[in-house]
Structure 1
């Protein structure tokens, strides 16, 4: 069992990736297809407060207090989330996927396969790399980088965040991808 501590606001939490992550990637890259699902990034453990990582991400990013399905506080039902992909307000948690800005399968092909299990878990749970967004848009994105898919709104911020995570984790995009990122962000600055 691997765990890591991340800071979320004024509190630190032990975070363990849950199996929902494997459901968020629907189009793994060719090189990643040989790996069973996304087992290198996941765990089936829950937090001591009965919340899995999806619930933790929803609680942390809601702009209002969330409502849970039961008194046990395991499954988030409602809250208020502003989608970075559209700017839309989403109040029903079942309409949300937690997007990995840098998809796990994309990262695998660009260096994550050499990481330790602890580093993979840190990457998969890093709040900088997680966004609550419309499920349909997250699924259309799949494992694509921004040179293949962009959200309908907030494209400059999305690409800037993508590049920030790539640099933070020292991932190795191709020369063409790096050139695309640079050109796109230069255009955003104009």
Structure 2
């Protein structure tokens, strides 16, 4: 009579044989890597998926329609969070950023005084208004204006931020050309997530900026 331990041994041998041969006699490898993730989310495909439309009206726009900066702690807000994230050697008073070291990727300038640094909205609020945000309620516009998840907020020099204004990449690009790939990628990522439109000139400029970026995987 077959013992219980002998039965278990037989099952184990059979299982090993199945794993070695695979279902239907096909070889399988337990060490075979998983298939790479789909590239459906790459920036080139995201750019292709953006809706092209004429810029909308500025009627009814004001920055107050995009409530910011939200509180992120006692006497601390989203601006402090960005300054802390994007800087080095940060000094705090409570949770307020009072000193540090920042390099503006738009123009390569460096700063140690946070008052000389602006937190830029990658896709400016007025541009968002003209490309679909005018149809949102103020709560959603607030989510957009305080978005710390997407690359929508970045600490840069005040002069570069003000030179940019509400212009899109067909009208303004960072003086630092080495940042163009990242700038275009970030712009596309934000517009794609928030389902904002682009003008034909804006889309062409983004495509040109991504042209030399081998990682962009343009379709």
TM-score (norm 2): 0.64
Greater relative contact order (CA < 8 Å, ≥ 6 in sequence) = 2
Q: Give 1:188 deviation, angstroms.
A: 4.0
Which of these two proteins has the greater Rg computed from alpha carbons? 2
**Partner secondary structure for residue 144 of structure 2:** helix
Query: Aligned-pair distance for 1:79?
Result: 1.1
Which of 193, 201, 209 aligns to 1:168? It is: 193
Matched-pair contact (CA < 8 Å) for 1:45–1:52: yes
In structure 2, the residue matched to 1:31 is 57
Over 3 Å counting, the alpha-carbon distance change for 1:157 and 1:43 in structure 2 is closer
Confirm whether residue 96 of structure 1 aligns to residue 122 of structure 2.
Answer: no
Query: Unpaired runs of 5+ in structure 1?
Result: 1-28
Structure 2 matches for 1:52-67, cutoff 5 A? Answer: 52-67=77-92
Cα distance in structure 2, aligned partners of 1:89 and 1:106: 27
What's 1:141 paired with?
A: 164
1:156–1:44 CA distance, 2 compared to 1 (3 A): closer
Cα deviation for residue 46 of structure 1 reads 3.8
Contact 2:184 2:210 in 1 (8 A): yes
Match of 1:49 among 74, 78, 91: 74
Aligned residues: 157
Following the alignment from structure 2 to structure 1, what is the Cα–Cα distance between the partners of residues 68 and 153? 17
Offset at 1:30? Answer: 8.4
User: After the TM superposition, which segments of 4 or more aligned residues of structure 1 sit over 4 Å from their partners?
Assistant: none
- Aligned partners of 1:119, 1:179: CA distance in 2, in Å? 28
Root-mean-square deviation over aligned CA pairs: 2.4
Deviations 1:67-99 (A, max 9, x none): 33xxx444x221122212123332110110001
Determine the C-alpha separation between the residues in 1 that align with 2:134 and 2:140.
10
Q: Of residues 132, 136, 145 in structure 2, which corresponds to 1:111?
A: 132
Tell me the TM-score normalized by structure 1: 0.72
CA distance in 2, matches of 1:155, 1:44: 27
Alignment of 1:125-136 (within 5 A): 125-127=146-148, 128-136=151-159
